[in-house]
């Protein structure tokens, strides 16, 4: 209790000493030149930029590493049995290991080709987004380019309704169907009404649109990528 009045006293003192200062400052402020205004903002801007760049130098490697790690985990998940992958870019309707000089890698669609321990190509993973119930649903999935068999699927991003639409990644039974090597094109059917045809996926009750979106993303994605993959996958540079 003794401390509080003490700090109050100090406070009043500080404010008092400041008072004449700001009193003197007021008339000066009226004739502030444009130069001074610009200079103040320029100095503030330069300092702000410098600080941001410094922190960015520190955090960027951590962020990049995390993103690469997340991508790697997702690719390994949708391509079971894969131990290594490489990134290829779709340039002018064909696959290329490099983007054209001067272009940004993010401007091109990417495919991740996965290999097992023996160096055998196991499958290709691609990511694709389409409008779902609420917003874009982003999915990464792996498939065998020759046979069109689906290997796995993972929802990367979705804002589907909690409790209903979000079952497309929370309902393990639904997700497991995509890992049972179904033949594409897939067809979403009412749960339990399957006739044993290849490529049937039991939709989630109460999340018809979300279930159909996942199926549609995979079908459209494979339809887009198979002709490109048929043109051949560029050899790895040794």
Task: By CB under 8 A, name the binding residues for another protein.
Answer: 4, 7-8, 11-12, 14-15, 18, 21-22, 25, 29, 32, 36-37, 40-41, 44-45, 48-49, 51-53, 55-56, 58-60, 62-63, 66, 70, 104, 106-107, 109, 129, 131, 133-136, 161-164, 209
Q: Residue 159 or 236: which CB sits closer to another protein? A: 159
Q: Residue 151 or 214: which CB sits closer to another protein? A: 214
Q: CA–CA distance from 116 to each of 57, 81, 86, 106, 141 (Å)?
A: 35, 6, 12, 26, 17
φ and ψ of 172, to 5 deg: -65, -35
Tell whether omega for the bond before 216 is within 30 degrees of 0, i.e. cis. Answer: no
φ and ψ of 108, to 5 deg: -115, 150
Q: Closest separation between CB of residue 78 and another protein, Å? A: 19
Q: Residue 17 or 238: which CB sits closer to another protein? A: 17
Q: Closest separation between CB of residue 172 and another protein, Å? A: 16
Q: Residue 63 or 197: which CB sits closer to another protein? A: 63
Q: Closest separation between CB of residue 80 and another protein, Å? A: 24
Q: Residue 162 or 232: which CB sits closer to another protein? A: 162
Q: CA–CA distance from 126 to each of 130, 139, 208 (Å)?
A: 13, 8, 24
Structure tokens at 52: 């941001």
Separation of alpha carbons 110 and 183, rounded Å: 23
């Amino acid at each position: 209790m003794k401390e509080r009045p003490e700090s109050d006293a100090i406070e009043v003192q500080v404010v008092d000493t400041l008072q004449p200062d700001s009193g003197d400052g007021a008339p000066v402020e009226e004739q502030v030149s444009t130069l001074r205004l610009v200079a103040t903002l320029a100095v503030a801007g330069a300092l702000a930029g410098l600080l941001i760049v410094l922190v960015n130098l520190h955090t960027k490697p951590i962020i990049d590493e995390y993103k690469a790690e997340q991508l790697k985990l997702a690719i390994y998940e949708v391509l079971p049995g894969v131990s290594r992958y490489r990134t290829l870019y779709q340039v002018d309707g064909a696959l290329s290991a490099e983007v054209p000089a001067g272009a940004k890698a993010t401007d091109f669609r990417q495919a991740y080709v996965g290999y097992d321990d023996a160096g055998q190509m196991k499958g290709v993973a691609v990511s694709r987004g389409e409008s779902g119930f609420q917003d874009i649903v982003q999915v990464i999935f792996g498939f065998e380019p020759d046979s069109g068999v689906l290997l796995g699927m993972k929802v990367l991003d979705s804002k589907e309704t909690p409790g209903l639409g979000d079952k497309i990644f929370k309902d393990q039974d639904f997700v497991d169907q995509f890992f049972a090597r179904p033949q594409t094109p897939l067809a979403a059917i009412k749960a339990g009404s399957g006739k044993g045809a290849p490529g049937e996926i039991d939709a989630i009750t109460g999340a018809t649109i979300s279930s159909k979106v996942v199926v549609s993303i995979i079908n459209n994605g494979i339809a887009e990528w198979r002709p490109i993959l048929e043109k051949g996958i560029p050899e790895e540079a040794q």
